[in-house]
Structure 1
Amino acid sequence: MRKAVLLTAAATAALLFGGTTTLAHAKTYTQHGNALANYNVNKYKTVKNKNMFVKRYTFQQSYSNIFQTSPTSISSTKGKKVTFKSNVFLPVTYNRSADWGNPQSEVLTKDGKTLYELITTSSQSTEGWIVRYNLGALRSKFGISTSHMDALRRATYDHSVNQMTSTDKAIMKYIKIGPKFNTGHGQSLAMNPKNGQLWFIGAPVKIHSNVQQVSTKTLKPTKKIKFMLKNTVTMGSNLTFDKKGNAYFFTYSNGGWAPKGAVKIYKGKINKKSVKFHLVMQGLRYRPGTKPQSIAYNVKRNRLYFVSDSSISSVPVSKLGHLKAKQVEATNLNGKREFEGIQFTKNGAGYLMTNKGAELMKTTTNKF
């Protein structure tokens, strides 16, 4: 049985520096022993999915004027047919030019009415914050997805130049901006649909990692669980949950006992004071693209999605570990945008977050 040790930030500071602190932050649990179950590498296999790899490219921007009023679209060029059309043009500037220009991950509630966006201070930064949007109100009251698609960006830009109108101020009442904190890479913000908890991976791609719970009200971390998968396995930088509360992340193989470039899938649980994961003993032989950007779950189709730039692959959760090649769906898309993540509502509508500039793009079909 693994033991977990509870330390508040205040207690930790006292132990390290021999003093006390007046402000206690997130509770920290330190898990002992490996969080990853043992496995036999000789039993690991991959399914030979169709190779839909897209290599890294120079990201393109979607606009000539940041205050866009008309939607653009990106469409599949190969594989499963899909088109994404602009639905919400997200803010780019709030205090200074492009300070909201580095979105890293998104969480969309199952009704599609609330969006959590994690933004870092720069593309290489490990510090950032979360913004919560009441999309339901912003759509119905201000037409941000229809008649006034520039309204969100104008409101935050007007804030940066201290020229907010009454409409700008009304819009900002439906946007909550959280405090800055250490986000890690920031790609992993995810909501567990079973309990409504928000989590992210605070130290990805390291032997010693952590996951942190974030308050949906204050938008700041309230709990940290520190752990090690095992001393030869590093944590991925993406995270999602299925309807049963199972957690997933994926990485690419560097070679060795698994083919180089194969997608390794990990499944587990994030509990109150500890985590546990196991390697799914069948991966994908071919990865979608150069960089793993995000992982997502579609409750309507019960599928996991592996997101890279301009390339998305998906698999049925019920077939994990014994997939057939025909069950792996994959799509290549045009536009050369940076893909930050995808989320699905309960009816299967997909919302892809792209950058340059930041926006939500909605599928034109609910069957992706």
Structure 2
Amino acid sequence: MIFILMGWKQRLGLTMLLGCTALIPAVSVNAATTYSRSKAKTVATKPYYAKAKKGSTYKLSGKAKKTKLKANHALKNYMSTTWMRSKTMTLTHKGKKTTYYYVKNAKNGATGWVASSYLKAGKNFQGTTAKKSSGRYQRAKAGKLYQFTASNTYVKFASGQNLSATAVYTRTKTRNVYKKGIKYQYDYVTSGQTHGWVWHNYLKTAKKIVAKPTTVAKVDGHTTENATVDGVTYYSTSGNVLDPYSASDFKTVDVDSQYQMGTIDYAKTALYVNNNSFEKTPDTLGVLRHTDDSYSNYSLKTAMYLPIDFKNTATNGFTRKSVLGDPQSATFSKDDQYLYVMYVDSTETTGANQTGWVIRYDWNKLTALGASNSGTMDMIRRATNRDYYGKGTKKQKALDKKVLACIKVGPKFKSGHAQSLALNPKTNELWFVKAYKEKAEATVQRLNATTLTPDASVNFTLKSTVCMGSTLAFDNDGNAYFWTETRSPWKTAPVDSLKFYKGTLSTSEVHFKLIMQGLTHSPGAVVQSSSFNPNNGRFYMVSDESIFSVPVDKIGDLTTADVSATNFDGKREFEGLIFKHTSDTGYVLANKGPELMEMMK
């Protein structure tokens, strides 16, 4: 403690910050004023940072009912540091109560008591241990390279140097640094004698130097606008949009065959069956096997149960119970507030004319209501079920109204099988593949995030013998990716091997190329999803109960060690995999019944 012990009633040393809580203003601090205080309560250590430059921490002298305060640390001197809270107490003056935290500064060990309203939970200028990484990058936008000093508990930025607009930087390490509770990825890069740490978003993948073919025709993937019908503008390309290649140049990276899962006999979980689909607690899915690396070492745990029933309205046109039992893909909005999920009518034949719709969930509000809390995780399914039947007590209906207000159901449209909803983070546009296997010509559509219906449709042909894949993902630079499983083998690509495709997808241009390096085995028997993690730069391939990942900037130059694989054992259908944009958090969209399961590391 930070004051001299004066007796049994003086065993608490306090440093207090002038401020106010959300409901009750903080007690005004005056050296001549006395206060009363409660007993200090030891709580779990938690990081906080100062919200503003005003205020101070304080220490205390005197008895519990006649306490005097003295400022010892001004918060304005600690704006780039973290305060670690370990105790709480209540300070009272003239009947007004204010909560105070006992904190210790991670930079220099300064201690004291501070009004809770002046702090906000989260790490600030703290970091994680650097990990080995690789990649070649160029400047994406103006920024600086920094030298980091001190430890992970206090990261100091020093010696800022502007990024060169022309240099190519080589990344060797990566780490995360927290600022005001938000995690930022920093890459350690070098270019000649220049080296330092730079925010990842200031960089973009450097273009590979590839010799231009001299004997093949150039692909023109520019689109032509054709017409606008019912709010959808239609575009098309002429000729092939896939770069020419020679199958003999294709090669594969060896992946152990044990990681390729076979056909899964889907089954509902015991928790689902025993609770008649109204699970209150999270389910888990354990790992069957995984490769020996950090990227594959995770299990799955329920983050949110999605609804199954939904009441018929003039907008959605639902005609049966359990209409939401077949989600196909999902993605988060760029700010991670909304979760978009694409559904299809499972009674219809799979194909380009299959009926589907999109539901937008307010993830943040549902989480705040308790939809992700153990004990109340049934609230979404209960709300939609009671609304479907028109049942519920007054109290139940009050909660149901709040839950239903977080769920926006879009109208039906011809969506195709809808396995590919993805956000392009560079353009903030939502895209999905409507038609991909019936014929060589493919159709990809842009989804309006407000109306939840398509507003643009692009038709194109990769080449007459190559169909578009059923999945889609975008990296931070807006590059589009999909993967396919080989059915007609080449000498260089055996059956069940995996091929990567990378390109551009927009209303103005469609252009793809086959990456001339694949994997000897795909994740499983059914192609389910593609995903990109903006926080670790890895591309993910998903089949039922099997997930592979590789560093996106090494696709084309992979080694076996670059391939991470994780298999599960729960007979679940994996419909999709999505990652948040502002945190390194991933979720599997699982079915039987529908839910989001968080990747637990």
Q: TM-score, normalised by structure 1?
A: 0.92
2:225 maps to 1:6: yes
* Map of 2:284 onto structure 1: 73
**211-220 vs 160-169, greater mean Cα deviation:** 160-169
Answer whether contact 2:456 2:507 (CA < 8 A) is retained: no
Deviation of the 1:250 alpha carbon: 0.8
Distance 1:275 1:310 in 2: 32
* Map of 2:409 onto structure 1: 177
* Map of 2:431 onto structure 1: 199
Answer whether contact 1:29 1:274 (CA < 8 A) is retained: no
Distance 1:109 1:315 in 2: 24
Distance 2:363 2:538 in 1: 25
Distance 1:276 1:92 in 2: 38
Answer whether contact 1:9 1:25 (CA < 8 A) is retained: yes
* Map of 2:343 onto structure 1: 119
* Map of 1:100 onto structure 2: 324
**350-359 vs 1-10, greater mean Cα deviation:** 1-10
Which residue type is aligned with residue 224 of structure 2?
A: V
* Map of 2:475 onto structure 1: 242
Distance 1:68 1:242 in 2: 35
Distance 2:303 2:473 in 1: 23
* Map of 2:509 onto structure 1: 274
Answer whether contact 2:281 2:376 (CA < 8 A) is retained: no
SS of residue in 1 equivalent to 2:549: strand
* Map of 1:143 onto structure 2: 370
Answer whether contact 2:221 2:511 (CA < 8 A) is retained: no
Residue 357 of structure 2 is aligned with which of 129, 132, 140? 129
Deviation of the 1:7 alpha carbon: 2.4
Residue 307 of structure 1 is aligned with which of 529, 538, 542? 542
Q: Normalized per residue, which structure has more strand?
A: 2
Answer whether contact 1:202 1:212 (CA < 8 A) is retained: yes
Sequence identity (%): 38
* Map of 2:523 onto structure 1: 288
Residue 47 of structure 1 is aligned with which of 238, 248, 253? 253
Residue 162 of structure 1 is aligned with which of 377, 390, 393? 390
SS of residue in 2 equivalent to 1:8: strand
Answer whether contact 2:488 2:495 (CA < 8 A) is retained: yes
1:220-256 CA distance string (max 9 Å, x none): 0000011111101011100000010000011111233
Deviation of the 1:358 alpha carbon: 0.2
2:457 maps to 1:233: no
Distance 1:199 1:110 in 2: 14
Which residue type is aligned with residue 480 of structure 2?
A: A
**340-349 vs 149-158, greater mean Cα deviation:** 340-349
Answer whether contact 1:53 1:311 (CA < 8 A) is retained: yes
Answer whether contact 1:225 1:274 (CA < 8 A) is retained: no
Which residue type is aligned with residue 8 of structure 1?
A: A
Which residue type is aligned with residue 92 of structure 1?
A: I
* Map of 1:356 onto structure 2: 592
SS of residue in 2 equivalent to 1:57: coil
* Map of 2:451 onto structure 1: 218
* Residue segments in structure 1 that go unaligned for 5+ positions in a row: 11-23
Answer whether contact 2:235 2:507 (CA < 8 A) is retained: no
1:47-75 CA distance string (max 9 Å, x none): 11222111112111121221110111002
2:264 maps to 1:57: yes
Which residue type is aligned with residue 426 of structure 2?
A: K
Deviation of the 1:9 alpha carbon: 4.5
SS of residue in 1 equivalent to 2:265: coil
Answer whether contact 1:342 1:352 (CA < 8 A) is retained: yes
SS of residue in 1 equivalent to 2:323: coil
Answer whether contact 1:110 1:344 (CA < 8 A) is retained: no
Answer whether contact 1:50 1:325 (CA < 8 A) is retained: no
SS of residue in 1 equivalent to 2:260: coil
SS of residue in 2 equivalent to 1:202: strand
* Relative contact order, higher structure (CA 8 A, sep 6+): 1
* Residue segments in structure 2 that go unaligned for 5+ positions in a row: 1-219, 291-295, 312-319
